[in-house]
């Protein structure tokens, strides 16, 4: 299942748990795995706290400190977004979440976030694949 999200800021974390949860419910799979993958080289998927939106803000701030914009990155000569590619590579394009009793098996405060690192973008594509347990 392909989900599409619009981002509104250059860097932001977008909570997508409810959208993914709906795909799992619609699939009718009781037990298995849910794989969530973003199809872009300057975005990422992470599982983290979803109760406090400041976690996303803090994550982006920590990434900016570790990988600053325009720090002499060679790829900036091409399209000026090397830091976004580096951050996305470190975070990773996907997460796999267990499915139990027809729902995502996440901790009390865990959620799935799309991390935008080079926006805003009219469309970010996220693929959700459900693999039933055998």
Cα of first residue to Cα of last residue in the chain, in angstroms, is 21
Q: What is the pTM of this model?
A: 0.96
pLDDT digits (tens, 9 = 90+) for 30-68: 999 999 999 999 999 999 999 999 999 999 999 999 999
Q: Tens of pLDDT along 85-125?
A: 999 999 999 999 999 999 999 999 999 999 999 999 999 99
Taken in order of first residue, the domains within the chain and their CATH numbers are 2-132 (2.60.120.460)
| Whole-number pLDDT of residue 48 | 97
């Amino acid at each position: 299942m392909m989900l599409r999200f619009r981002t509104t800021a250059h860097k932001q974390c977008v909570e997508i748990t409810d959208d993914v949860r709906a795909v799992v419910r619609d699939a009718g799979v009781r037990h298995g795995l849910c794989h969530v993958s973003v199809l872009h080289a300057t975005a990422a998927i992470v599982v983290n706290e979803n109760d406090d939106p400041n976690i996303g803000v803090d994550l982006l701030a920590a990434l900016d400190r570790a990988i600053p914009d325009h720090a002499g990155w060679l790829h900036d000569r091409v399209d000026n977004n090397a830091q976004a590619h580096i951050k996305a590579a470190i975070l990773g394009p996907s997460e796999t979440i267990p499915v139990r009793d027809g729902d995502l098996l996440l901790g009390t405060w865990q959620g799935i976030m799309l991390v935008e690192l080079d926006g805003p973008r009219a469309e970010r594509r996220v693929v959700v694949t459900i693999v039933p347990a055998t």
